[in-house]
Amino acid sequence: MSFNKQNIKQALETITAPGEGKSLVENNNLKNIVIFGNEVIVEITISNPTLQAKKKVESEITKAIKSNVSEDIDVKVNVTVEKPVAKENSNPNQIRGKEIPNIKNIIAIASGKGGVGKSTITANTAISLAKMGFNVGVLDADVYGPSQHIMFDVEKAKPLSVKVDGRSKMKPIENYGVKLLSLGFFTDPNQAVIWRGPMASKALNQLIFDGAWGELDFLLIDLPPGTGDVHLSIVQALPINGAVVVSTPQNIALADAKKGVAMFQQENINVPVLGIVENMAYFTPEELPDNKYYIFGKDGAKNLAEDIKTQFLGEIPLVQSIRESGDVGHPVALQNGTVLEEAFNNITKEMVAQLLKRNENLPPTEVVRITTMSGCSSVKK
């Protein structure tokens, strides 16, 4: 049996550093390799202080060396826990969480109140972005009731495992030009799953960091409704560039939307709010498209945006076909040349324009590269 440090290093390149999406070697966790005859001592540092993380990485290293180099090697792993050095937050708009290679912009879609159409807005804006020529992904993080797999008509799909740079990753399911990963692919639709904040954020971290997303211009995250523990865990763990808050015009929804905006603006979260979308702004019967009935009140979200000095990104009417098309997995943004396609296009353009403005103040992530300008005239870049 003959081997050298390079063989051991190559074996370690197949292991993903916990929660990083990079190998132990690439992520600088590996500190030293010492070889004495058939004994190999691997010294690594990790930032996760739990015994479970330590045991997991020890066992992965032993397994990788034995299967890639030789079964006969006696592997010893010395793990030290190093607290990550807290960088001084000189920029008040600093993005939280680690950067994700290949994903240029992450936008969280939130709502204070449930059922206001957050998932509908996420699916349709994702499709609008894809039609404009961007590479788009959607992460359904609605742990209480994932629905994107239904809206994208891939309800029964199961993501496959693929090897990327020697590591196993989950291949998102793709439809309508959008890549999707959802907790809905892994949970039984007939069973209620109760997620606590850290558990939910761990599962979502895995979907993000261990997803084979490829190059993405935008990853939209469909957050659960509300402003609870789960949200805090998610938004603090991920490098979110901006959040969009969806509301309907009635007071009860607006009060919750205000709380949603306030959550992102809290000092320990500090995710820039790109703006508010007003959904179900008015009712329009399909057969009388010029009639507008303001059944939930008029301009509620627009006024709220003004009051709290946030951008108003636009409005979507309450139309029966929006509900029907979502239910059958064929969102209205797929239509061509219709009023509804245009309404979603306008909101999407405004969202991108606001994101570009925000990115000018955000050094850690790359400003989105506009790969095509088609349908994106409001973006002056």
Ligand X SMILES: Nc1ncnc2c1ncn2[C@@H]1O[C@H](COP(=O)(O)OP(=O)(O)OP(=O)(O)O)[C@@H](O)[C@H]1O
Distance of CA 72 to the CA centre of its chain: 42
Among 319, 334, 343, 355, binds ligand X (CB under 6 A): 319
* Residue among 63, 53, 98 nearest 238 (CA): 98
Residues 6+ apart with CB under 8 A from 319: 283, 284, 286, 332, 340
* 260 marked among binding-site residues: no
Is there a binding annotation on residue 117? yes
d(CA 304, CA 260): 12
Q: Establish whether 54 is an annotated binding residue.
A: no
Query: Rounded to the nearest whole angstrom, what is the least distance from the CB of residue 248 to ligand X in the complex?
Result: 9
Q: Is 309 annotated as a binding residue?
A: no
Contact residue for ligand X among 13, 142, 315, 341 (CB under 6 A) = 142
Report the interhelical angle of 320-327 vs 118-131 (nearest 10°): 80
**Of residues 323, 360, 361, 373, which one binds ligand X by CB under 6 A?**
323
Residue 143 sits in the site that holds ligand X (CB under 6 A): no
Exposed / middle / buried, residue 361 (Cβ in 10 Å: 0-12, 13-18, 19+): exposed
Closer CB to ligand X, 132 or 322, in the complex:
322
**Alpha helices (H) along the chain:** 5-12, 51-68, 118-131, 148-151, 197-209, 229-237, 251-265, 300-307, 320-327, 339-359
Size of the site for ligand X (CB under 6 A): 20
- Is 18 a binder of ligand X (CB under 6 A)? no
Do the strands 178-182 and 173-175 form a parallel or antiparallel pair, or are they unpaired? antiparallel
Under 8 Å CB-to-CB from 85, ≥6 apart: which residues?
none
Residue selected from 304, 318, 353, 368 as contacting ligand X according to rule CB under 6 A: 318
Q: Which of residues 90-129 bind ligand X (CB under 6 A)?
A: 111, 114-120
Question: What is the smallest separation between the CB atom of 7 and ligand X, expressed in angstroms?
Answer: 50
Give the span between the Cα atoms of 304 and 306, in whole angstroms: 5
Residue 130: how many other CB atoms lie within 10 Å: 23
Nearest to 304 by CA among 223, 265, 249, 227: 249
Identify residues 241-300 at the interface with ligand X (CB under 6 A): 279-280
147 φ/ψ angles, rounded to the nearest 5 degrees: -135, -5
Asked whether position 326 contacts ligand X by CB under 6 A, the answer is yes
Stretch of residues binding ligand X (CB under 6 A), selected from 160-168, 204-212, 311-319, 360-368 = 311-319
Q: 219-238: which residues touch ligand X (CB under 6 A)?
A: 225
Residues 243 and 138: their CA atoms lie apart, in Å, by 14
- Residue 138 CB, nearest approach to ligand X (Å): 12
Among residues 95 and 107, whose Cβ is nearest to ligand X? Answer: 107
Is 332 annotated to bind a ligand? Reply is no
118 is in an annotated binding site: yes
Find the shortest distance in angstroms from Cβ 208 to ligand X: 19
Helix axes 300-307, 251-265, angle to 10 degrees: 30
Known binding residue 235? Answer is no
Q: Is 329 annotated as a binding residue?
A: no
Q: Which stretch binds ligand X (CB under 6 A): 22-30, 42-50, 155-163, 322-330?
A: 322-330
Closest separation between CB of residue 147 and ligand X, Å? 5
- Residue (123 or 352) nearer to ligand X, CB: 123
The window from 70-78, 140-148, 341-349, 364-372 that contacts ligand X (CB under 6 A) reads 140-148
Footprint of ligand X on residues 147-176 (CB under 6 A)? 147
131-148 as b/e, with b when 16 or more CB fall inside 10 Å?
bbbbbbbbbbbbbbbbbb
Q: How many CB atoms lie within 10 A of CB 375?
A: 18
Which residues contact ligand X (rule: CB under 6 A)?
111, 114-120, 142, 145, 147, 225, 279-280, 316, 318-319, 322-323, 326
Annotated binding residues for ATP, as ranges?
A: 112-119
Annotated binding site: which residue ranges?
Answer: 112-119
